[in-house]
Chains A and B, each alone.
Chain A
């Protein structure tokens, strides 16, 4: 089948993108330097000790964590976006549907003004991201009715609530010091993605993505509607809560590492759907790979195109909008 060659192709492209991205930066490192470095690390290379340590510092401590962060965030947003699109039977849904991104933004901002510690910012983002989704689910449970519709409305309310709370935090923040920090944070960026942070979140994000990939077949069934899924023996409410938990976990962790990075979770699933069709068994892994490649590449642009780094979220939005207009062309073909 022609569609099956995409995954090996994309894996190759991902490795290539990572290697190229390792060479890019203020300090010039060529591809052959990287291979020399790898050979030396393996014990067969000829690199001088100082050069080796310098390369180790730049490659392993500075560039690699950032590349891994970009790959994980790109994958996580794409996979949770694709999962939400199937789960809510709507190709225009993005990972922030249930308010997770608004909640995480509020939590991060609150951490900045209340505790002024990096750890507080991260844990604030994590906790409030989950809190916002719980609020959405709680509101949806208040009334009987179409579960999906109630969840979407609950998400809109929860998102609005946490956006308002964020405004309060911005209003009371010190305008010379804290407010700019909050604003920059919300523009998204990976300049703070150091080895320690990435090491902390890599496992849960990676595990969350892989778990979601295992649910691909169930996502197909959920996208046929609740009643049909139930009649096929699926415990719909339990499955949906589990999937929402996984998607919330990985999306909120993307905010913990890189702030708000928009559009990736909406667009990448569409690109993947254009390449391999809507079947989640192929769509999900392809979306994960494309998301990783895309965000690594965009982050390269963000850090290199001008002398000053531009926030990643701005670049993803600017690139996302024209792209989305192109994607809309396919809308009438039943999101093939």
Chain B
């Protein structure tokens, strides 16, 4: 086991954030963490990084307690890609990415051309090489996210803890990011990432963990775990999970998937033409239809 959370609890006495969390991450897995806002996803990711002092339980990396490992060597193994944050200082993008070399440096050693090369490579892989001299404060949220991912790559860790990496990326970049994770996953990299999109989990994850109010309510293969019932339990909305073909599922929110716009349009036409519609006369008969009228 690469990374293990062993019966972890964390939080304030009156407000526990994580309750008795146990999970084990295997090398090469892509794990998606799903859960509503405030369910403890970010906290769980940070405990996996060893950032918090736990109330109970422990985190093990390759069988050793994370608190007993040197922080530097841990940083050479696990990288953190935080949620996009507002930056205070306008460092150049390349300088932010170079920070990823710090765990590989002693106190007095300076960044070498080789370090520079690794950082530029990472930028190039993410197709944002052209941003290298731009101030970090003046690029878009998505570009900032890519910069932080480039930094994690520069860290040369093989386990990435990512907090909503697709957040703030445009559609194309979201796809590019997921494709990138898929490729790296094939090369033996391990990802634990939180996401708000069950579809993203269906596309690339090997495993989905569902977190609600600080407890794991489901943990398993995406096809088994991402079900209508579980999504309702998690988010309180009705979502249909359809099989497009074997091994490929999509989530469609029930209400939105019913062809909302055409229904609404028809209703309005009908009313303006002065023909009161009965529920039976419409080809779109449904309870929903009645609500709109």
Contact = CB atoms under 8 A, between A and B. Distances in A.
Nearest to B73: A233
Chain B interface residue bracket vs A: 35 or more
B217 interface: no
A223 B89 CA distance: 8
B76 A233 contact: yes
A58 interface: no
A227 interface: yes
Interface stretch (B95-103, B173-181, B230-238, B261-269): B95-103
A228 interface: yes
B79 interface: yes
Nearest to A225: B85
Contact of B49 (A91, A230, A277, A335): A230
B135 A334 contact: yes
A232 interface: yes
Given A231-B51, A233-B72, A279-B95, A334 B85 contact: no
Interface string A195-218: 000000000000000000010010
A228 B80 contact: yes
Contacts of A221: 99, 102
Interface SS majority for chain A: loop
B54 to A, nearest CB: 13
Q: Counting chain B CB atoms within 10 Å of each CB, which of A86, A227, A232, A336 scores highest?
A: A232
A217 B102 contact: yes
Interface string B5-30: 00000001000000000000000000
A90 interface: yes
B71 A230 contact: yes
A235 interface: yes
A210 to B, nearest CB: 13
Contacts of B135: 334, 336
B137 interface: yes
Interface residues of A, number: 27
A224 interface: yes
B272 interface: no
A91 B79 CA distance: 28
Contact of A336 (B49, B90, B96): B90
A220 B95 contact: yes
A55 to B, nearest CB: 42
A232 B73 CA distance: 10
Contact of B90 (A217, A224, A227, A278): A278
B103 A233 contact: yes
Given A223-B89, A277-B90, A279-B91, A233 B99 contact: no
Contact of B88 (A91, A217, A230, A231): A91
A330 B275 CA distance: 63
B32 interface: no
A214 B70 CA distance: 22
A89 B108 CA distance: 24
Contacts of A220: 91, 95, 99
A233 B74 contact: yes
B99 A334 contact: no
A231 B79 contact: yes
B100 A232 contact: yes
26 contacts: A90-B88, A91-B89, A214-B108, A220-B91, A220-B99, A221-B102, A223-B88, A224-B99, A225-B85, A230-B51, A231-B51, A231-B75, A231-B79, A232-B102, A232-B155, A233-B70, A233-B71, A233-B74, A233-B75, A233-B102, A234-B102, A235-B71, A277-B90, A277-B91, A278-B91, A334-B90
